[in-house]
Structure formats: structure tokens, C-alpha cells
């Protein structure tokens, strides 16, 4: 990792670390586009009023102003950096609805800013990769299933440990709480959301002290949260608890559809976990959280859910479902634990060596020929001894060194050396290609001993 930043929470990467991050971003872009998602980018700044309209805590929001701010600026004009991509996206949909085709499928990869205490997995400046599908007035539930499978596809292509997407449904949970007589369903969800941090006994105490739950109600709520399954068997386990409510049945059916299809296409990757609550109030149905197996203490690397009214106007409602991958969190763990290894730290596959300074222009001709075919290369700046030029390439991880010379008749000759194996052979600048695996830096999981 790069040295500790002088400004904590704003990470900076070394070139080889950036190779890993770019690999992650490239995989996500490619996968999202293969599934039909279009790319957009929203502005970094939003009005404070827009950012806080869903009740987010303003202590974490970074306000932005000019050094010579106008004291008479109206509050609606006060600006702040966005802390996620969902709220800006909701505004974008409303403002551009007349130019969009619904359902609108978008992906968005950008930085966000949040003023919280920095620690591993939590930075003040961080990159997110979001995918959402938004409908006009209605959105088919099958998109809830499809988005889970898109994320599984994307993460499966990365050099990371096994992962599990845990899925629940807010209707299921809220219907159950109503069925046992707990009316403050949002309060119960907030308490259940703390289960992994503080444990069941502390959550039961919260339910009793803050929400007035009886011992029996607290026990029932925790019993629901304890249910996990890799298939639709969770449905009967919930019904066995003896609670009945129309909203509960609706949530059971929706979650069964997600888990039923996912268990066929990605067995073991997507599981029902009825402890998943997601504390944000705007989620109304399916909720997702994704964890690396063996790295659960890192927290969720990909979260989201269904929101039926995040974006709305007086005439239209834009329901949606979305998931957000914490790219900075994921990459930080990949780097700190050595989960991913770049094949080299620079794009260059070839260093064109100099025999003497007079040959610099001819070396540039070789480089031009290689670059015209998409082969990244650089030309040595000085005609140092070949050994030094080879060492320079080795330090940068450049696999091939190109040598120019002349035969007995004075005609130019070309040879290329694989400095890893020591093999050297004649080469034609207009035709030579490196092996496919050497064309660009690759990122892989480390090999075992």
C-alpha cells in the first residue's frame, strides 16, 4: 500500500495497486454492460436540501462553499458533496424522465464522500459502483431477481474469496412484526440491524426498553432473524412460527422468487437471511447485503434493495431496485490481505533499448509500429549498457526488451528478449505480438507454494 496519507480517509494508491483497482472497475463495467445497463455520471455536488431530504445524518455530509461565500445565500443554494449515488440518481431520474426509456437500467461508478471516522473498509473519499433499474409508476419484481444475479456474475470474475449475498424482504419482516403486535416496525428493523454487532441478548433488551416489546415478542422477532436457508425451505420455517399477516405472505412470496431462481443459477451464492434489515427507511421490499467468506468483519461489500418511492413527482412515482458495490472497501481488503496480484506495475509490455544515442529516432519508429497494433511500450531514455536497461525493465515488470542492430550489409536487424526466460529471437516490428497474457497487466489470485 502507499504510505499512510497525510490526510486520513482519503486513500492514494501506488501504481501496482491502481492496476488492481482498474481491473476491478473494468470487470464491473464489462459485466454491467453485458447485462444491458447504460452508464451515467451525476455531478459531485447536490444541494444540502436534496441530500438531506431522506433524513440522512448531516454530521457526515461535507458542505462545500467558496472561500468568499455570500452570507446572503439561500439555504436551498447551499451545496454539499454527495455521500452515496442513490440520492443523486433519484434527482437525475426526475429531472431527465422525459429523455429516458423505462424501465431505465443504469450503472454508475463514481467517488462519494462521507465524513466518518476512517478505518479499514471505511474511507472519507471512496468509489462506489451502483446498478439500478427504475420504472415509471410500476416495476416488475423480476428485476429484484435479475440484479442479484448480475452482482453474482460480476463478483465471480474477481480474484476474491468466496462471497455470499444475504437477502431478506422488508415486507416479510414488517408483516411478521405487525403479526406479533409490534407496530413500530421501523424501530424493530433498526434494532435487528444491530444483531451482528451487539448480539441477540442486547437486541432483545433494546426491543423491550425502547419499543415496549414483551419477552415473547422479543423472542419471536429474534426467532425470525435466526432463519437462514440456501433454498426456499425458509418459507415453511417462517410459517412454523405461527404468525399470520397479509404483508408477511407477500414478502414470503417475493423472497421465495429471488431465492428459488438464484439457487438454480448460483447455488450457495445467494441465501435467505432473515436477520438482514438495512437501516435506511426508503427500502420497501427486497434487501441485500454481500459478505466475503472469512472476512465478515469487513462488513458488506455490496448492499441495496427495492425502493418504491425514492424518486417521485406530483404526477409520477419512480420505483426502483438497486445494488451498490463498495469498490474502495473491496480493493482495500484485496490489497491489505494480498488477495490479488498484478503481473506488472506498468502498462508497458516492451522496452525498446538503445544501442547508442543516435539510434533513438529508429527506436521511436519501432515503438510507433508496436503502438499502432495496441502494444504498450516505452523507449529507453539513454544508451546505457544493455544490462542496466534490462534491469530497468525488470524493476518495472516489463517482460520484453527490444534490441536494434545492423547486419554485415548495414541493414537494420531486430531482436526481442523475454527477460524472464532469457529467450531471444528475431522479430519484425510490423508483425510481432507478445503472448496474449502479456499484452496488458493481469490481476490474479496469488498462487500457492
318 is in an annotated binding site: no
* C-alpha torsion sign, points 57, 58, 59, 62: positive
128 is in an annotated binding site: yes
124 is in an annotated binding site: no
Helices then strands, each counted (H, E), the chain: 14, 19
Contacts for 49-56: CB closer than 8 Å, 24+ residues apart? 49/75, 49/76, 49/78, 50/87, 50/91, 51/80, 51/82, 51/83, 51/87, 53/87, 54/87, 54/280, 54/281, 54/282, 54/310, 55/281, 56/83, 56/87
278 is in an annotated binding site: yes
Residues 54 and 48: their CA atoms lie apart, in Å, by 11
142 is in an annotated binding site: no
Q: Is the CB of residue 237 less than 8 Å from the CB of residue 214? A: no
157 is in an annotated binding site: no
Q: Which residue has the cell 498462487?
A: 447
Q: Is the CB of residue 378 less than 8 Å from the CB of residue 367? A: yes
Q: Is the CB of residue 400 less than 8 Å from the CB of residue 438? A: yes
84 is in an annotated binding site: yes
Q: Which residues neighbour 137 within 8 Å (Cβ) at sequence distance 6 or greater?
A: 316, 317, 318, 319
Instruction: Say whether 328 sits in a helix, a strand or coil.
Output: helix
* Binding-site residue ranges: 84-86, 114, 128, 132, 278, 282-283
* Binding-site residue ranges for L-histidine: 84-86, 114, 128, 132, 278, 282-283
Amino acid at each position: 500500500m502507499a504510505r499512510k496519507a497525510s490526510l486520513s480517509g482519503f486513500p492514494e494508491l501506488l501504481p501496482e495497486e491502481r492496476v488492481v483497482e482498474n481491473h476491478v472497475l473494468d470487470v464491473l463495467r464489462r459485466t454491467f454492460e453485458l447485462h444491458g445497463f447504460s452508464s451515467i455520471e451525476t455531478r459531485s455536488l447536490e444541494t444540502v436540501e436534496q441530500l438531506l431530504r431522506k433524513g440522512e445524518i448531516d454530521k457526515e455530509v461535507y458542505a462545500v462553499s467558496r472561500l468568499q461565500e455570500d452570507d446572503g445565500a439561500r439555504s436551498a443554494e447551499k451545496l454539499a458533496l454527495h455521500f452515496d449515488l442513490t440520492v443523486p440518481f433519484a434527482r437525475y431520474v426526475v429531472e431527465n424522465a422525459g429523455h429516458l426509456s423505462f424501465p431505465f437500467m443504469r450503472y454508475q461508478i463514481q467517488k462519494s464522500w462521507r465524513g466518518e471516522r476512517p478505518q479499514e473498509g471505511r474511507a472519507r473519499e471512496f468509489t462506489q459502483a451502483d446498478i439500478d433499474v427504475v420504472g415509471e409508476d410500476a416495476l416488475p419484481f423480476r428485476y429484484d431477481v435479475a440484479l442479484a444475479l448480475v452482482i453474482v456474475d460480476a463478483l465471480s470474475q474477481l480474484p476474491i474469496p468466496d462471497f455470499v449475498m444475504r437477502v431478506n424482504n422488508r415486507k416479510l419482516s414488517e408483516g411478521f412484526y405487525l403479526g406479533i403486535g409490534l407496530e413500530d416496525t421501523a424501530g424493530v428493523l433498526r434494532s435487528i440491524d444491530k444483531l451482528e454487532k451487539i448480539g441477540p441478548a442486547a437486541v432483545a433488551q433494546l426491543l423491550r426498553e425502547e419499543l415496549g416489546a414483551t419477552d415473547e415478542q422479543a423472542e419471536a422477532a429474534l426467532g425470525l432473524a435466526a432463519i437462514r436457508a440456501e433454498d426456499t425451505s425458509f418459507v415453511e420455517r417462517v410459517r412454523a412460527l405461527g404468525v399470520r399477516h397479509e404483508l408477511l405472505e407477500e414478502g414470503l412470496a417475493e423472497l421465495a422468487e429471488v431465492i428459488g431462481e438464484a439457487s438454480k443459477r448460483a447455488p450457495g451464492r445467494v441465501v435467505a437471511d432473515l436477520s438482514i434489515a438495512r437501516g435506511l427507511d426508503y427500502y420497501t421490499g427486497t434487501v441485500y447485503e454481500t459478505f466475503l467468506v472469512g472476512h465478515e468483519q469487513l462488513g458488506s461489500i455490496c448492499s441495496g434493495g427495492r425502493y418504491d418511492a425514492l424518486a417521485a413527482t406530483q404526477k409520477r412515482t419512480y420505483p426502483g431496485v438497486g445494488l451498490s458495490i463498495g469498490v474502495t472497501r473491496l480493493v482495500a481488503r484485496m490489497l491489505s490481505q494480498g488477495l490479488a496480484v498484478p503481473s506488472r506495475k506498468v502498462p508497458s509490455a516492451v522496452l525498446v533499448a538503445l544501442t547508442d544515442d543516435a539510434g533513438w529516432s529508429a527506436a521511436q519508429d519501432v515503438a510507433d509500429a508496436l503502438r499502432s497494433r495496441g502494444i504498450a511500450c516505452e523507449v529507453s531514455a539513454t544508451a546505457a549498457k544493455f544490462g542496466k536497461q534490462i534491469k530497468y525493465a525488470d524493476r518495472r515488470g516489463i517482460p520484453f526488451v527490444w534490441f536494434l542492430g545492423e547486419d554485415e550489409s548495414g541493414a537494420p536487424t531486430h531482436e526481442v528478449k523475454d527477460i524472464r526466460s532469457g529467450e531471444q529471437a528475431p522479430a519484425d516490428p510490423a508483425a510481432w505480438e507478445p503472448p496474449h497474457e502479456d499484452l496488458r497487466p493481469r490481476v490474479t489470485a496469488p498462487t500457492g507454494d
